[in-house]
A and B are shown apart, each in its own frame.
Chain A
Amino acid sequence: MAGAGGGGNDVQWCFSQVKGAIDDDVAEADIISTVEFNHSGELLATGDKGGRVVIFQQETENKSQPQCRSEYNVYSTFQSHEPEFDYLKSLEIEEKINKIRWLPQKNAAQFLLSTNDKTIKLWKISERDKRPEGYNLKEEDGRYRDAATITTLRVPVFRPMDLMVEASPRRVFANAHTYHINSISVNSDNETYLSADDLRINLWHLEITDRSFNIVDIKPANMEELTEVITAAEFHPHQCNTFVYSSSKGTIRLCDMRASALCDKHSKLFEEPEDPSNRSFFSEIISSISDVKFSHNGRYMMTRDYLSVKIWDLNMENRPVETYQVHEYLRSKLCSLYENDCIFDKFECCWNGNDSVVMTGSYNNFFRMLDRSQRRDVTLEASRESCKPRQVLKPRRVCAGGKRKKDEISVDSLDFNKKILHTAWHPQENIIAVATTNNLYIFQEKVN
């Protein structure tokens, strides 16, 4: 496979695989709610609304046949969270997996954190490919032997067996969040992680489940004065003392845990003044940030709001260094999007391995690749119609108004039920995972 992903537009993307049911009747439990590659890119995890986690593993490349790309196949499936009921507040707690984050690999086993609205769990995924045979006191099927029949002793030996992948919950971090958890982020120190809900951010140690430290609390003394909530949070990729959190007002705060125990006072506040000519009833809603991600090199961060993606330089607080329109043609449709609730959709965004291209989803199963270095962008579609092996994806165009050219699709024909909220990019290669409502598409760079 080629090295660290290059530009998004001299790259041609091909269909590789699609996972999930084909039929249009989507069971709610199958709706994909999060997608995440692990640090090597060998494993790809998805979480769904039914509380399940499915992990795919990349097959080791067949070096003799470079044309034959490695595929992702199911490695492990397990039920991470179950629906719960909070009797005190008479509230149902959804089992939907909001986020999955992998821990860097330390030994043979893999670890990931998965969270629903209230509880975070640490899962260990380990392989078993041998088992002991030849016990003295037990038969092979586990039944105990009659002691009187044992006349000799033997040493049990390990014999190979069919690979079994086991997932076991190692830690459960519960009861620390009054509001709904929207983010988790593992620290670069590999010992701690943060979890964020609407009003608070807590710091956990991976080994300690009965305690967490509250590091951000924006709950006002009087809830009547509430004007903004936390929408996402992430640790800096290298500086273990630094994290950021975004708000529903379109601001990002960078906090330094060395400054004080409670990081209510930010070290930096990133905010772009609003363009008054764009003001509308819905300005508040569309400026709410739905995702924030640091670049791999730790110098930039990217935010996603309803209509745009912004790249911020951590050294400049007053405006982003780059702004990309994702689907500006929707600006005149905000009222309808408010009516059908689409305006509240929370799109995520991601960086490629060398931070030169960013990707985010849109409607009609479109997703956008924004090339920072070449200042170009392309719209692609995840569709069952482009599912032939190695079929190159054709760029799509949306016609905002006026005369529709051939091959363009008009805004009114867009299917707003087909939304791509979750995408992930392999950390080293040009392989992307794009989640439609209940299918996971894997696209790879075309190799000749």
Chain B
Amino acid sequence: MDVEAKRIMALSISKLYSLRTQRGGLRLHRSLLLSMTMRAARDIYHTAQLLRDAEEEQVVPCAPDAATEEPMEISKDSSQTLTPKEVAMKPQESLEEDKENRCASERHSRKRRDKAALEPDFLPLKKAKMDTDEEKQHLQGEILRTNNGNSCRQADTLTAFPTNRAIVAC
């Protein structure tokens, strides 16, 4: 499942990059749809990662914080194999709002915020890499906040975990 998510995430990012060179200026609608898809894929990917990390924590109790910084470069593939996980349906609203706030900074340049609405306020993607690392930490922080990220209270980790949207594999 997260292999698919990773692929879609990479695909979305490359499409977002190529939008910048397209004739006619940045297309807001297309960019919005691409970002949403990328976010959805990324969230699935990250939560799958976290599930895996959580499993590892179970296996090795009292290990130090297992959160590893994974760069956005998809070429650097982790060697972990994924155990298939079933993801349950989830009510969307709370997580979506969160995602919007977190992910929107990818799309918005802090530099341009002050300018009047003379230009399309769509961010060139240079910020994407940096921000997603930050956001990943933030996401992890949220998930693990009940146990400070250091403890081995598996039960809390798992139940504090927001459930995911059902994704139909294509």
Q: What 1/0 flags go to B23-39 for Cβ under 8 Å of A?
A: 11101111011001100
From known contacts A198-B28, A224-B107, infer whether A339 and B37 are also in contact, taking CB-CB under 8 Å.
no
User: Closest approach, in angstroms, between the C-beta of A83 and any C-beta of chain B?
Assistant: 9
27 A-B pairs with C-beta separation under 8 A: A86-B25, A89-B118, A91-B25, A94-B23, A96-B24, A117-B24, A178-B117, A180-B24, A198-B28, A219-B117, A222-B108, A223-B107, A223-B122, A224-B100, A225-B100, A225-B104, A228-B32, A276-B166, A278-B168, A279-B167, A284-B33, A284-B36, A284-B40, A285-B36, A285-B37, A338-B11, A338-B37
Q: Could you tell me how many residues of chain B have their Cβ less than 8 Å away from some Cβ of chain A?
A: 38
Q: Kindly report which residue of chain B lies nearest to residue A278, judged by CB atoms.
A: B168
Q: Which of B1-51 contact A (CB under 8 A)?
A: 4-5, 8, 11, 15, 23-25, 27-30, 32-33, 36-37, 40-41, 44
Complex CA distance for A56 and B94, rounded to whole angstroms:
54
Contact of B101 among A89, A224, A228, A334 (CB under 8 A): A224
Find the B residue at minimum CB distance from A86: B25
A386 at interface by CB-CB < 8 Å? no
- Chain A residues whose CB sits within 8 angstroms of the CB of B44 once the complex forms: 281
The count of A-to-B residue pairs whose CB atoms sit within 8 angstroms is: 105
Given contacts A94-B23, A180-B24, A222-B104, 8 further A-B contacts (CB under 8 A): A96-B24, A180-B27, A225-B100, A280-B170, A335-B8, A339-B11, A341-B15, A344-B30
At the interface, yes or no: A394 with Cβ under 8 Å from chain B?
Answer: no
* A264 vs chain B, min Cβ distance (A): 16
Q: Smallest CB–CB gap between A282 and chain B, Å? A: 7
Chain B residues near A88: list those with CB within 8 A: 118
- C-alpha gap A100/B56 in the complex (Å): 61
Interface residues of B (CB under 8 A from A): 4-5, 8, 11, 15, 23-25, 27-30, 32-33, 36-37, 40-41, 44, 89, 100-101, 104-105, 107-108, 113, 117-122, 165-168, 170
Beyond A223-B121, A285-B33, A338-B37, is A333–B165 a contact (Cβ under 8 Å)? no
Is A67 interfacial (CB 8 A cutoff)? no
Closest-CB distance, B72 to chain A (whole angstroms): 18
A226 nearest CB neighbor, chain B only: B32
Q: Tell me if B104 and A226 are in contact (CB < 8 A).
A: yes
Give the docked Cα–Cα distance between A198 and B31 (Å).
Answer: 12
Please tell me if A199 contacts chain B, counting CB pairs below 8 Å.
Answer: yes
Among B25, B118, B119, B167, the residue within 8 A (CB) of A281 is: B167
Find out whether the CB atom of B118 lies under 8 angstroms from the CB atom of A248: no
Of B36, B37, B118, the contact of A178 (CB 8 Å cutoff): B118
> Smallest CB–CB gap between A252 and chain B, Å?
16
Distance between B67 CB and nearest chain A CB, rounded to angstroms: 25
Residues of B within 8 A of A338 (CB): 8, 11, 37
Closest 10 CB pairs of A and B: A224-B104, A335-B170, A94-B24, A223-B121, A91-B25, A280-B168, A198-B28, A224-B108, A284-B36, A229-B29
Please, which residues of chain B bring their CB within 8 A of the CB of A228?
Answer: 32
Inter-chain CA distance A180–B30, complex, in Å, is 11
Q: Which of A94, A226, A248, A278 has the most CB of B within 10 A?
A: A226
Judging by beta carbons under 8 Å apart, are A288 and B117 in contact?
no
Q: How far is the CA of A339 from the CA of B113 in the complex (A)?
A: 32
Chain A contacts with B in 331-364, Cβ cutoff 8 A: 332-336, 338-339, 341, 344
Please, how many angstroms separate the alpha-carbon atoms of A88 and B5 in the complex?
A: 39
Name the one of A219, A224, A341 contacting B105, with C-beta atoms under 8 angstroms. Answer: A224
Q: Report whether B118 and A180 are in contact in the complex, using a CB–CB cutoff of 8 Å.
A: no
Closest to A280 in B: B168
Main secondary structure of the interface of B (DSSP, over half): helix
Q: How far is the CA of A198 from the CA of B120 in the complex (A)?
A: 10
Q: How far is the CA of A344 from the CA of B28 in the complex (A)?
A: 13
Report whether B25 and A180 are in contact in the complex, using a CB–CB cutoff of 8 Å: yes
Chain A, Cβ-Cβ closest to B24: A94
Once A93-B25, A178-B118 are accepted as A-B contacts, the answer to whether A332 and B170 lie under 8 Å apart by CB is yes
A162 at the interface (CB under 8 A from B): no
The smallest beta-carbon distance between B58 and chain A, in angstroms, is: 29
Q: Which of A286-312 contact B (CB under 8 A)?
A: 288
Which of B28, B100, B167, B168 interacts with A199 by CB under 8 Å? B28
The reply to whether B118 and A198 contact each other, CB–CB distance below 8 Å, is no
Question: Which A residues are CB-close (under 8 A) to B36?
Answer: 284-285
A334 to B24, CA, bound (A): 26
Bound complex: CA A338 to CA B16 (Å): 13
Q: Which residues of A sit under 8 angstroms from B107, Cβ to Cβ?
A: 223-224, 226
Choose one: B8, B23, B24, B89; the contact of A276 (CB below 8 Å). B89
A231 within 8 A of B: yes
CA distance A201 to B120 in the complex (A): 16
Query: For A278, what are the chain B residues with a Cβ–Cβ distance below 8 Å?
Result: 168
Q: Which residues of A contact B40 (CB under 8 A)?
A: 281, 284
- Distance between A344 CB and nearest chain B CB, rounded to angstroms: 6
Most buried by B among A178, A199, A281, A338: A281
In the complex, chain A residues whose CB is within 8 Å of the CB of B27: 180
- Nearest chain B residue, comparing its CB with the CB of A228: B32
With a CB–CB cut-off of 8 A, which chain A residues contact B23?
92, 94
Minimum C-beta distance from A161 to chain B (A): 42
Contact flags A99-124 to B (C-beta < 8 A → 1, else 0): 00000000000000000010000000
B-contact 0/1 string along A196-207, CB 8 Å cutoff: 001100000000
A168 within 8 A of B: no
| Given known A94-B23, A224-B105, contact A288–B100 (CB-CB < 8 A) | no
**Which of B4, B100, B170 is A333 in contact with, Cβ under 8 Å?**
B170
Tell me whether A323 is interfacial, beta carbon within 8 Å: no
